[in-house]
Structures are given as structure tokens and as C-alpha cells.
Structure 1
Amino acid sequence: MKLLRLKDRVLPGLPLTLGFTVLYLSLIVLIPLMALAIRSAGLSASEWWLTVTNARVLAAYKLSLLTSLFAAIVNLVFGLLLAWVLVRYRFPGKRIVDGLIDLPFALPTAVAGIALTTIYAPNGWVGSLLEPLGIKAAYSPLGITIALIFIGIPFVVRTVQPVLQDMESDMEEAAVLLGSYRWRIFRKIILPELIPPLLTGFALAFARGIGEYGSVVFISGNMPMKTEITPLLIITKLEQYEYNQAAAIAVGLLLISFLLLLLINVLQRWSNRRQSPIRKGG
């Protein structure tokens, strides 16, 4: 029976598939990253450190990381609400709304940036309403966050939505019959199952926000030390033929992003292990 199963496998054995996987990852991910690190090695250790700790670079790091973090947190909340509505309720135009969720994937980022700038500029539809209130959306960190929310919301919705669809309602119905309140049911039964996909969606939205360029460059205003994001600073260094410095800045951002994403993955694994005994016991 075991030999029969091995022969009936659609894909070839482990050595070939593993070799193809390693080759693919090497060509697409590892080799470009190694080339980036090698390029930054053109600077001495002191020059590399001075480059990544420059005040302008640190300001760009801070802006990119904070706006990406805030945008990912907003998407975490509203992405969950959107996924919940799309799965648990029926209403006219539901398929249209479901399709619009993927619009940031299909829309070119430059087009998204121009559209958001037009809307949130001081003379735009929304910006003209915010301006009398003293709220400056475009050409500010708030505008950058809005752009990152726009391009990041599908990641959370599309990771949470399948889990909600596959979630059985037996335990919820039993809890209702036992007299539990809705908030308690959500907190004790539903939310624990959603934590892993929420963390995945958060990580994807955060990672996309850190490296986003096209939708942000128009609405940010690109003012050094104020609204200059790290990808724009890297492009500026490349245009000035400072390739080693651009690579050093990119490596610094890569290291910071890797550590943050590693932390998120550790939390996700911890959450999965914590939920496994509960599922087995249930």
C-alpha cells in the first residue's frame, strides 16, 4: 500500500521538488538579497554605520515603520469587520463589495497615489472638508498612512475571510443556548480561531507598507525629515549615483523589517500551539 501511494503521487519525490524549491528561492529571493548586501559592502564598516544612522535616514526609517505599523493596525480592525460582514451577512451588492476589496491589487500604485492625492489634497473632495478643522491629510504622515491603509486592506480581509467561512457555528449556538453574551462568545470562541490569520494579514500588510513607493510618493509631499519615506530616499540616492549608500539604507531597512516579521511569526506560532490543545480537547 505504501509503495502504491508513492507511485500514485502527482508530484515527484522530495529530492527533485526540494531542489526545485531551493533553486527557485535562490534565483528570486536569496541571490538578489546577497547582491544587495555585497553592494553595500563597498562601504567600510564606519561608512556603513554613518550612512544608516544619518539623521535623514533615521527620519525616513521612523516614518516608514510607524506609518506602516499604524496602517497595519487599522487594517487589522477594519479588515476583520469587512471579512465578518462579507461572510456572516447577506445584502444587496455583496458581490460588488467583495470584488472591490481586491481593487488595490489590480490598480497600479501610481494611479492609486494620484487618486488619493486628488481626494485628500487641500482643494480635494475630502481634503477641503478636513482643512477647516486643521487636519492636513495630503503631504503629511497622515496621508502616507491613508495610502498604506488603501493598499494593505485586502491582505487582512483575504486571510481572515476563508477562516470565517470554514468556521463551524455549533459552539456559538451552544454558547447562546447556555446564555453567554455576544461579546463573550466572540472573545472566547471566535477570536482565538482568528488570531493566526489576523497575525498573517497584519504581517503581510505591514511588509507591503514598508516597501510601498508608487501610491505614497504622490501624497507624501517628499519633504526630507518630514514626509520622506525610505523607498524614496533610496531612489534619491540611486539618482545621485550613490549606489553603495542606497544599498546600505536598503539593507538596514531589510534587517529591521526581518526582525519585526520574525517577531510576528513567532507570535503566530505561539498562538497556533496554544490553540492546538483547545481544538483537540474540543
Structure 2
Amino acid sequence: MPARPRALVTRFAPSPTGGLHLGHAHSALMGWRCAREAGGRFLLRIEDIDPVRCRPEYAAAILEDLRWLGLDWDGPVRVQSRHLADYRRALDRLAGDGLLYPCFCTRADIAREIAAIGHAPHGPDGALYPGTCRRLPAGERSARIAAGEPYALRLDMAAALRRAGGPLSFIERGEGRIRCDPARFGDVVLARKDIPASYHLCVTHDDASQGVTLVTRAVDLRPATDLHRLLQALLGWPAPHYRHHPLLLGADGRRLSKRDKAPTLAALREAGHSPEAVRALAMG
């Protein structure tokens, strides 16, 4: 008998660093509609790993805004800060495979190293790390850790690609199979000195843990899919399909963002807009 297709599961995974705006509403509605039209499940996840920028009151406001819009979700809300041990286990697995190394460099150290080299390849997140701490002897690493020196954990990209084996790809809905190039991220940080796990590790872990089969998110995150596919291959996690939607732009042609103080859903609600009107604005 042919394999039974998996039920569609999507998710909306905001970070509680401010109020939701129309761009968030657009993304949430895209995932919610995909799930509901397919008779699938729509999950809500709060990505609050950053203890400095994330606040409980913003998380509470996210739930209020989504309910006001008329969105519902299936099962309990997953809150990432309650699952630090899960991410630690994933990091330990990568470390056990010899794929992580401690990086003691500060941003200033990295900038000086790049300046000394005279140039640096660039990836989706800017200049690539020059590999300074990858070349440290094991004894020096151990001594610096024992002395209590802060460090991040970086993925040894070359070693990771060798372990992953052949070429990686992902399915983009509407386009088909897309070839991945994780190497363009270089030795990416998977755990920072001040944050126990990176966005890339947490989001990939949670999509697998929650059984997400279709990731719907904005097109600016599409490059990250290459790295997420590598982590899935390294950790034996299933690969969902992806659907990257265009960014919602403001009247000035710029993407809506918290940084640029895009009008929040709460402000639109207080100004007298109805949920139906805001949904129409969000979906263009």
C-alpha cells in the first residue's frame, strides 16, 4: 500500500520583543489558512530565548492580538524558554560528533581579525567568521574554559558538511526542490555567550519536535533554510516543506518592522479598526 500522506501542520512562531504589526498578522494568517483549508493543525510557538529583549507582557499581548484577529491554534502554546534542556541535548549531540568548538572571540576581536586579513567572504548574515578559535589547540581550549572565560559554540561547517554527506535540498511549495548551500553561513554560532541556544538550532529543533510539515514564513528567512536543512540532516530530524511568502511593505515601500515602529495591531484596534478590516489590510 502507498504511504499515507502526513497531515499538514503549520506554525506561527513570533518573538515577544514588541507588539505584533500587520506583517506579523500576514504571516500568521498565511499559516493559519493553510492549515484550516487542508484540515490540518496550526500551532503557536513563542520564541523567547533572548532573555534581554523578550518580555512576558509581549508574549501575553501576542495571544490577545491573535484571538482578537479571530485566529485559533491547536494544542498548548510552546514557549521556548521552558525547553532549554532540549536544546542543550541537541548541542551535546553535535559536540559528541566533533562538530562544535568553543569560540572566545568578541565582536571586536573578529573585526580586528577581518581587518588584518584585508577581506572576508560574506554570507547571508554578513562577513563570515575567519575561524580563529577553530585553530586553537585542544589544550588551550580546555584551559580557557576551565578558567571561566565566556565562549560561544560554533558549528565547524566543513566537518558538518562532510558528515551530512551528499547535496542537501528542500521543497519550496510552488517551486519544487531547491538546492541548499549551507557553506555560505560559515562557522555559524549555535549557542551564544549570553543566550543558551541560537534561533537556528531552536527553530529547527522545535519544528521537528512539534511535527511541523509545512513551514510558512517570510521570504527574508528563506536563506536560513539552507542551514536548517543541514541541522536536520546532522541530527536526523525530518525535513518539512517550506512556503516563503513576500514581505508586507508599508506605504514608503519598506518592510514593516518593530525597529521602524510599524503600527501595532493593538494600536489599530484602539483606533477603531475591526478584526475584519485588519485581516483585509494584512492580506493586501
Please state which band the TM-score falls in when normalised by the shorter chain: under 0.3
Which structure is higher in helix share? 1
Which structure is higher in strand share? 2
Of the two structures, which has the highest relative contact order with CA contacts closer than 8 Å and spacing of 6 or more? 1
Q: TM-score, normalised by structure 1?
A: 0.27
